[in-house]
């Protein structure tokens, strides 16, 4: 299959791209910046089944190249994490978060729907298990993922109403140690001054929980992407790792 993935410079997306190549697919690996593309082109210079280019999902000019390709599977994986207390996190930062995770993804998907329709393709969108749980200091990020998941659920139903054969699968990862969460958790520097002491204590606890729960190996989630790409009847939602799924259930009972 011909598969385009966004936000695949590093972390989970990069591993998914590698796994897809190993399984004989042609991969359009896209990156946030041109520099990241250049580095990866060098790395993959011997590989024939790959095309690497910059695709900033907030920049409609970058959609042009993608919209000329014949793609069977679109994996919308790019994302921005913004950390901070909702007590006083600058709303401009929250808007930036929505611009990438919600509006960027949706407008790129809209541009690509005609191609997916023509190829009877499938759409895979990376959300997060955090989209269903309220986590202090991650309200901006988790609410973007909740919105994205809901938009995709509605899109799936609308495509069915049109009897259009595009499947829509959500991938909802738990905690993986890619560095993505660390950036968000370290960003929590927007506390209300009067609550600083209490919040800092809680932030430390949160960082410990993320460290304890985080997986160094991405195999479990890469497997879910492969299933979403290759299964004859892909599922609506895939979640991994198992530990995060159990933790989420307990967390929801306590705080949901
Ligand atoms: N790691 C986890 O525990 C976890 C848990 C749940 C969900 N997820 C989701 O899994 C996905 C991958 O995360 P990851 O942990 O592997 O971290 P990551 O490697 O940092 O992945 C995020 C990618 O998105 C790119 N990106 C950001 N803004 C973009 C834009 N406007 N256009 C195109 N690309 C953009 C980033 O590029 P730059 O770095 O150059 O900005 C980066 O390559 C994300 O959707 C994330 O929300 C991760």
Centre of ligand 1 to C-alpha 78, Å, is 5
Q: What is the pLDDT of residue 118?
A: 92
pLDDT in tens, 8-53: 999 999 999 999 999 999 999 999 999 999 999 999 999 999 999 9
Q: Coil, strand, or helix at residue 88?
A: coil
Q: What is the pLDDT of residue 233?
A: 95
Q: What is the pLDDT of residue 120?
A: 92
Q: What is the pLDDT of residue 171?
A: 98
Cα distances from 166 to residues 70, 105, 127, 156, in angstroms, run 14, 17, 18, 8
Centre of ligand 1 to C-alpha 80, Å, is 6
Question: Of the residues 29, 31, 32, 36, which should be mutated to test ligand 1's pocket, given the most ligand atoms within 8 Å of the CB?
Answer: 32
Relative to the CA of 56, which ligand 1 atom is closest? 32
Centre of ligand 1 to C-alpha 197, Å, is 31
Question: What is the pairing mode between strands 237-240 and 167-173?
Answer: parallel
Decide: 101 and 81 in contact? Cβ < 8 Å: no
Q: What is the pLDDT of residue 201?
A: 83
Structure token pair of residue 22: 């190993």
Decide: 136 and 174 in contact? Cβ < 8 Å: no
> Is the pLDDT confidence value at 256 over 90?
no
Decide: 77 and 7 in contact? Cβ < 8 Å: yes
Give nearest CA residue, ligand 1 atom 18: 11
pLDDT band for position 167 (50/70/90)?
A: very high
Give nearest CA residue, ligand 1 atom 37: 32
Q: What is the pLDDT of residue 159?
A: 93
Centre of ligand 1 to C-alpha 129, Å, is 14
Decide: 15 and 23 in contact? Cβ < 8 Å: no
Q: What is the pLDDT of residue 191?
A: 63
Alpha carbon 228 to its chain's center:
14
Q: What is the pLDDT of residue 187?
A: 81
Query: Would you kindly state where each structural domain of the chain is located, as residue ranges?
Result: 2-255
pLDDT in tens, 61-98: 999 999 999 999 999 999 999 999 898 899 999 999 99
Write the CB contacts of 201 (distance below 8 Å, at least 6 apart in sequence): none
Centre of ligand 1 to C-alpha 127, Å, is 10
Looking at per-residue confidence, does 155 or 185 come out higher? 155
Structure token pair of residue 47: 């590989």
**Mean pLDDT across 157-170:** 89
Q: Is the CB of 100 under 6 A from ligand 1?
A: yes
Q: Is the CB of 169 under 6 A from ligand 1?
A: no
Relative to the CA of 8, which ligand 1 atom is closest? 43
Alpha carbon 218 to its chain's center:
14
User: b vs e for 71-106, b when ≥16 Cβ sit within 10 Å of the residue's Cβ?
Assistant: bbbbbbbbbbbbbbbeeebeeeebeebbebbbbbbb
Decide: 142 and 133 in contact? Cβ < 8 Å: yes
2-255, CATH topology level: Rossmann fold (3.40.50)
pLDDT in tens, 170-215: 999 999 999 999 998 888 766 667 777 778 888 888 889 999 999 9
Lowest average pLDDT, out of 64-68, 124-128, 191-195, 241-245, goes to 191-195
Report phi then psi at 129, rounded to 5.
-65, -25
Q: Is the CB of 13 under 6 A from ligand 1?
A: yes
Within the chain, residue ranges assigned H as helices are 11-22, 34-43, 63-66, 91-98, 105-118, 139-161, 180-186, 196-213, 219-230, 242-255
Q: Is the peptide bond before 218 cis (omega within 30 degrees of 0)?
A: no
Q: What is the pLDDT of residue 189?
A: 65
């Amino acid at each position: 299959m011909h598969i385009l993935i966004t936000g695949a410079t590093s972390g989970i997306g990069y591993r998914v791209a590698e796994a897809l190549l190993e399984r004989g697919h042609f991969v359009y690996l896209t990156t946030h910046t041109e520099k990241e593309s250049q580095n990866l082109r060098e790395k993959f210079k011997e590989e024939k089944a790959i095309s690497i280019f910059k695709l900033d999902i907030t920049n409609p000019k970058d959609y042009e190249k993608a919209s000329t390709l014949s793609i069977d599977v679109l994996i919308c994986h790019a994302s921005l994490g913004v950390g901070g207390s909702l007590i006083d996190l600058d709303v401009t930062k929250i808007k930036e978060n929505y611009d990438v995770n919600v509006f960027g993804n949706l407008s790129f998907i809209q541009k690509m729907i005609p191609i997916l329709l023509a190829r009877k393709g499938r759409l895979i969108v990376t959300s997060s298990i955090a989209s269903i749980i309220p986590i202090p200091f991650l309200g901006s990020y988790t609410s973007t993922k909740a919105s994205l998941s809901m938009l995709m659920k509605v899109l799936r139903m609308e495509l069915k109403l049109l009897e259009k054969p595009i499947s829509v699968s959500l991938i909802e990862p738990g905690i993986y140690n890619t560095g993505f969460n660390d950036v968000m958790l370290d960003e929590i520097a927007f506390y209300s001054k009067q609550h600083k002491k209490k919040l800092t204590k809680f932030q430390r606890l949160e960082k410990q929980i993320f460290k304890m729960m985080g997986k160094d190996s991405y195999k479990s989630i890469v497997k879910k992407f492969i299933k979403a790409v290759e299964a004859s009847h892909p599922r609506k939602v895939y979640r991994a790792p198992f530990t995060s799924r159990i933790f989420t259930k307990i967390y929801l009972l306590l705080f949901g």
